């Protein structure tokens, strides 16, 4: 039974985290503040210090370089598998990662709600065991401090159809936690709170 350690939205304070051991480390994006080269490099150097045999990451809306200069950004990640609308297989688990979310200010990987996002989620293979997206599905661990539900409606449809065993995301710091529904373990693994302080612990899932 693989032990999976879930992290998201570490915003360059990853060195302050106490990361449990496990077989697979997953990071749901926003490893940086603004996606500068030095931030990505520091994150990559931190990754190599962790004991997990497998490390898989995606970008988030703060990781700007992964959209503006993807070749350069990806070249800086040497200590993890980077997924962007792509998949890999680890320990018999099919893992798919994607950074997109409904339009959010002027950050990276924004798309309008509706058909543009539906096209992205249609790329997720039906046999996906673990889904990593930066943003949450609508109404699942997506409530903002103002009470808005910020998640993606089209992503919710895709998840209900595919039924991955685990869906990891972040983006909405206020909604950190886990929830089991429709045969899926949903995890909002934001380790930072609204003030960008690393107050939340990584979440461990045994699959």
The predicted pLDDT at position 1 comes to 82
Sorting pLDDT into bands at 50, 70 and 90, what band is 202?
Answer: very high
Q: How many CB atoms lie within 10 A of CB 64?
A: 21
Backbone CA torsion sign across 122, 125, 130, 132: negative
Please say whether the beta carbons of 127 and 94 come within 8 A: yes
Average pLDDT over residues 10-17: 95
Instruction: State the chain's mean pLDDT as an integer.
Output: 96
Distance CA 152, CA 165 (A): 19
Q: What is the pTM of this model?
A: 0.97
User: Three-state SS for 40?
Assistant: helix
Q: Encode pLDDT of 77-125 as tens digits.
A: 999 999 999 999 999 999 999 999 998 778 899 999 999 999 999 999 9
Average pLDDT over residues 9-35: 97
Contacts of residue 137, Cβ cutoff 8 Å, sequence gap at least 6: 151, 152, 153, 155, 156, 158, 159, 167, 169, 186
Average pLDDT over residues 151-175: 97
The predicted pLDDT at position 130 comes to 98
The predicted pLDDT at position 164 comes to 98
Q: Encode pLDDT of 25-68 as tens digits.
A: 999 999 999 999 999 999 999 999 999 999 999 999 999 999 99
Q: What is the CATH number of the domain that holds 140?
A: 3.60.21.10
Distance CA 27, CA 182 (A): 23
How many independent structural domains does the chain possess? Answer: 1
**Residue 82 domain boundaries:** 3-206
User: Three-state SS for 203?
Assistant: strand
The predicted pLDDT at position 106 comes to 81
């Amino acid at each position: 039974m693989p032990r999976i350690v879930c992290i998201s939205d570490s915003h360059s304070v990853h060195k302050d985290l106490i990361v449990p051991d496990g077989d697979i480390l997953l990071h749901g994006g926003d490893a940086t503040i603004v996606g500068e080269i030095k931030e990505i490099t520091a994150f990559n150097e931190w990754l190599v210090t962790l004991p997990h045999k497998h490390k898989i990451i995606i970008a988030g809306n703060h990781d700007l370089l992964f959209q503006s200069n993807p070749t350069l950004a990806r070249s800086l990640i040497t200590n993890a598998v980077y997924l962007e609308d792509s998949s890999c297989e680890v320990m018999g688990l099919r893992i798919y990662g994607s950074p997109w979310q409904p339009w959010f200010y002027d950050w990276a990987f924004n798309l309008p709600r509706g058909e543009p996002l539906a096209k992205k989620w249609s790329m997720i293979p039906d046999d996906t065991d673990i889904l990593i997206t930066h943003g949450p599905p609508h109404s699942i661990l997506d409530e903002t401090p103002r009470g808005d539900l910020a998640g993606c409606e089209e992503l919710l449809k895709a998840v209900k159809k595919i039924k991955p065993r685990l869906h990891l995301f972040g983006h909405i710091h206020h909604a950190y936690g886990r929830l089991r529904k429709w045969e899926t373990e949903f995890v909002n693994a934001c380790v930072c709170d609204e003030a960008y302080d690393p107050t939340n612990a990584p979440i461990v899932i045994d699959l």
